[in-house]
Structure 1
């Protein structure tokens, strides 16, 4: 995550998604991260994960979390109240791209300002799609997110379908065509069809929707 070009900010939540939500130890291998960040070292990532788990244990993270549970719950309630339409995005994305995902996650970051990005996993259960949103303002002691959160999430969710499609054909493209496609891939797509809603659950500062495949 830190190399000669500096710290890749989006690598931090990507790394965190590989950790257990119970004790923050490593929960899955790093192969998907290393594909896109070949400068990463799996052994160093293992060391970092162990250090994170040790830090959480020594600092009694769960005591801290429980003492601030009201803050996290208020953040989630505020987001749900202001952006209730985001639950409609899943079917829209699936119909637009012609592919179903097993689960959709909206990760509300509390330590990133304004940066939004995406991630996905392909595993035995299917595709897990993540849209990660950064805080845009704080008032009444509660973090708030972009008023156009649905548009930003549509963009970020789309990366989970566009990126692998583009990556699968990059070796057969000319440099000029490849540059154009990579630009479009990184810009995302903006589906416009009307979707159905999905069920929403919330826990640990994260809300997510799950749809059947």
Structure 2
């Protein structure tokens, strides 16, 4: 059964918006720049991110299977006592409610952790953004941009949480986690906020140079 690994000093450098006092854990490593055939994790994440506008197609069935796999592996890796005392907060998808590709996959994973699990969409997003995995680095949404469109859903703020777990599929730069933690700590000061991720993003290792003898002409 997979287990969570905590981001530490050796891996935090890959996620530029994380700070030393952030607690974030992940299960797998997703390799950027490679397609779904590269690894089991790349295949899992590819299936998770299938767009809702594909509903009804043969390939869309893989999305539900990926959601169930993530929920099952989260359940196996998390202490049941910790689950019962934690409020799970899904990171909003890139598309706001009403958009054809509005995606609640993270909420579904959280809701499948067990009966009576405290899952709350405490942070709402007022407008759609470009999906980070579909644009170049310079075009990705920033922390400040997310801060401007994130808001706390006060209808879900009670009872006050005692521990908050921000949940997302892939930890890249940490942009969404930083914005989520900013919003949550402003509303619930003093309440711990951790990040739970299916995978963290890594980069493919460059191929080793060919082993050949240098011939001096």
Q: Same fold (TM over 0.5)?
A: no
Structure number with greater CO (CA < 8 Å, separation at least 6) is 2
Normalized per residue, which structure has more helix?
Answer: 1
Task: Report the TM-score range of the alignment, normalised by the length of the smaller protein.
Answer: under 0.3
Q: TM-score, length-normalised on structure 2?
A: 0.25
Output the TM-score relative to the length of structure 1. Answer: 0.26
